[in-house]
Amino acid sequence: MTSNAYARLEKRFHRMGTLSEAAGMLHWDMAAVMPEGGHESRAEQLATLNVISHELLTAAETADLLAEAQDHGLDDWQRANLKEMRRVHGHATALTPDFVEASTKARAACEKTWREARPKGDFKLVLPQLQTVLDLTREAAAAKSAKLGLSPYDALMDEFEPGARAADITPIFDDYAAFLPEFLGRVLEHQKRQPAIVEPKGPFSIETQKKLGEKLMGVIGFDFNHGRLDTSLHPFCGGTPDDVRITTRYNEAQFADAMMGVVHETGHAMYERGLPASWRRQPVGQARGMALHESQSLIIEMQAARSPAFCRFLSPLLNATYAGNEAAFTPENLARFYTRVEPGFIRVSADEVTYPAHVILRYRLEQALIGGDLKLVDLPGAWNEGMQQLLGLTVTNDREGCLQDIHWFDGAFGYFPCYSLGAMTAAQFFAAATAAEPGIPAAIEQGDFRPLIGWLRTHVHARASSLSSPDIIKAATGRPLDAGIFRQHLARRYLGTA
């Protein structure tokens, strides 16, 4: 009877997983090709898929089967699958359908006002709606906290990165915040002593940029039989593991951002594509969490593609693609160009060294907001104070401050830490991979990503959600997440220490 309950759960979750794949394709379509006038009916289609999936998940029969199913007689992956089913079920049933509906509406309304408030730098305009979103999020956090046995903030993070806990993250982030000011000063000093960066001169036709992007995707190992590159306003990796759709956006005046954007999304794509085919559409077969996902894009972008080795590979390729930029396309100039450090107000434009400061600021503030220790009316002040402290910058307009990111206005509290956990995890994976396969940097210099991807396939991709992120990191690298490895990577790259 037990295995029967489990088998029936697999069938139910397979259906939900398939609906989620369908929704993934429709999301891609909406962002990449859908005409404007299709929005209303698309929203209807996505909502319907979502509601059907949610009904399946929260149906009494699912709860009964989960209560009936036992680990006994299941193999490791089946047990892990059952555990994931319970986790997903716990998140879904912590909130009533009425609450979810109210919350969805509040987020949509707040996000809409935020789109008006941001360009004006008018935080007060969106404050009342953000207050509603925050109140609802705190209510959700409390409900999930009770259901999952986690602190309210951990319960929020757990939805994005299962297993992420403030108790582990806070010391790592505090260390980095303490390390940064002096280190950043040394990096900027060191940078000043380097030759000036030569900027590539355009225009760069979009057609050529697209071909270059596809060429690099091929170099990294993207399988065009199972995916595509397209264009969208906000680059992303979507679709399904068997049909991975990545997007970028182009600017004729410069190719560098679109190119590195494609490389970044290809890292995400390789993860999706490397998930075990035999566990497709089951909870255990999905990518682990957003932090681990980000580690896979950043290991390709930051660890591999911004390395001197890859710049040596890139140099002749760029010269063959865009004539007349020889000085800009020397390997040394490319490396300097792609690792320029420049403290600024905007997270999405930040370099590798200062990026964590942006995340730490948000991490601290959202904990205070969820914990009730910071009032929303005081958010701009607290934000600006934090920027001063972490990066020494004086914010003069909330447009460049607490209004810059969509996340909170869309109700996504607990997401931000994933970005920097991803960067730190990427450094640790790369160090472990090159220790195990010392030929990786030389291969990257030849445009051969197979040794690196091979290691990731085995140690990360193929594990899907069979382990927690901390356990995947430990199994792959022999120790828990250690931010020291990230700092060593930065010191090597930005100070030239061995």
In what helix (H) or strand (E) does residue 38 lie, and over which residues does it extend? none
Q: Which of residues 8, 12, 26, 482 is near a copy of itself by CB under 8 A?
A: 26
Q: Which of residues 1, 40, 60, 498 is near a copy of itself by CB under 8 A?
A: 40
* Contact window for a copy of itself (CB under 8 A) among 37-45, 145-153, 289-297, 397-405: 37-45
The sheet carrying 227-231 orders its strands as 227-231, 243-248, 237-240
User: Contact between 59 and a copy of itself (CB under 8 A)?
Assistant: no
Strands 237-240 and 243-248 turn out to be antiparallel
Q: Which of residues 202-261 bind a copy of itself (CB under 8 A)?
A: 223-228, 240-243
Q: Which of residues 10, 21, 265, 294 is near a copy of itself by CB under 8 A?
A: 21
Q: Which of residues 1, 37, 72, 207 is near a copy of itself by CB under 8 A?
A: 37
Comparison of 52 and 320: residue with beta carbon closer to a copy of itself: 52
Q: Which of residues 279-338 bind a copy of itself (CB under 8 A)?
A: 280-281
Q: Which residues are CB-neighbours of 157 under 8 A, at least 6 positions away? A: 164, 165, 166, 414, 415, 417
State in angstroms the smallest separation of the CB of 204 from a copy of itself.
Answer: 20
Q: Which of residues 5, 8, 12, 22 is near a copy of itself by CB under 8 A?
A: 22
Comparison of 45 and 93: residue with beta carbon closer to a copy of itself: 45
Beta bridge partners of 246: 229, 237
Phi-psi region of 412 (alpha: psi -120 to 50; beta: other; left: phi over 0): beta
Q: Which of residues 8, 12, 15, 83 is near a copy of itself by CB under 8 A?
A: 15
**How far is 470 from 472, CA to CA, in rounded Å?**
6
Residue 431-460 contact track with a copy of itself, rule CB under 8 A, x = bound: ------------------------------
**How far is 498 from 1, CA to CA, in rounded Å?**
60
* Contact window for a copy of itself (CB under 8 A) among 23-31, 99-107, 300-308, 365-373: 23-31
Comparison of 24 and 356: residue with beta carbon closer to a copy of itself: 24
Burial 388-403 (b: 16+ CB within 10 A, else e): eebbebebeebbbbbb
The DSSP result for 267-278, as a single string, is: HHHHHHHHS-GG
How many residues sit close enough to a copy of itself to count as binding (CB under 8 A)?
A: 34
Measured CA to CA in angstroms, residue 315 lies from 199, 236, 297, 446, 447 at distances of 14, 26, 22, 12, 11
Which residues are at the interface with a copy of itself (CB under 8 A)?
A: 15, 18-19, 21-22, 25-26, 29, 33-38, 40-42, 44-45, 48-49, 52, 223-228, 240-243, 280-281
